[in-house]
Amino acid sequence: MNRRNFLILSATAVSAAAIGGTVTVLDDPYAYIDSLLHEYVGEFTMDDAEERQFVDAFSGHYGSEKVLGFVALHRLRRATPLSTDYTDAKVELYKRRLVSDFMTSTDFFRQYQQGKVPHVYFTGFKVPCSNPFAQRV
């Protein structure tokens, strides 16, 4: 990260801190990522343990600090007009990773039927054959 991006990110963080209670930056990432998945993918049901496995695997692969940063930046962008090209690009990158990793780590495509809410299972994260149509073991 160069000096310009660091200064922009620092100014954004200081501005967010000045806002005070209007933005809770450190939120439960499990609940927030679950709500983001429902927003981006649509309605589905998934057991809490399976959801937790997915979020743990996602955080483990990309780094829990980066995932918490993504959650914080995403919440900040929603609650305030504060954003930069740098933060927008980072949030967009992790949004895309979240959706694509969810689709390839669950059996969403096999369970999805028009007009019905699918019940989704976690099949594994970044397995050598991350085929969404693979059989659940």
Mean pLDDT of 115-122: 88
Please check the confidence at residue 102 and state whether its pLDDT lies above 70.
yes
- In the chain, where are the structural domains located? 3-120
Q: Distance between CA atoms of 125 and 137, rounded to whole angstroms?
A: 13
R_g of the chain computed on alpha carbons: 17
Q: Name beta bridge partners: 31.
A: none
The CB density around residue 129, as the number of other CB atoms within 10 Å, is 7
Question: What is the reported pLDDT for 25?
Answer: 43
Rounded CA-CA distance 45/37 in Å is 11
Predicted TM-score of the model (pTM): 0.71
Among candidate residues 93, 94, 91, the one with its CA nearest the CA of residue 74: 91
Residue-wise pLDDT for 70-81, tens only, equals 888 888 888 777
Q: What is the mean pLDDT of residues 99-124?
A: 87
Q: How confident is the model at residue 134 (pLDDT cuts 50, 70, 90)?
A: low
Task: Let me know: does 82 contact 57? Beta carbons within 8 Å.
Answer: no
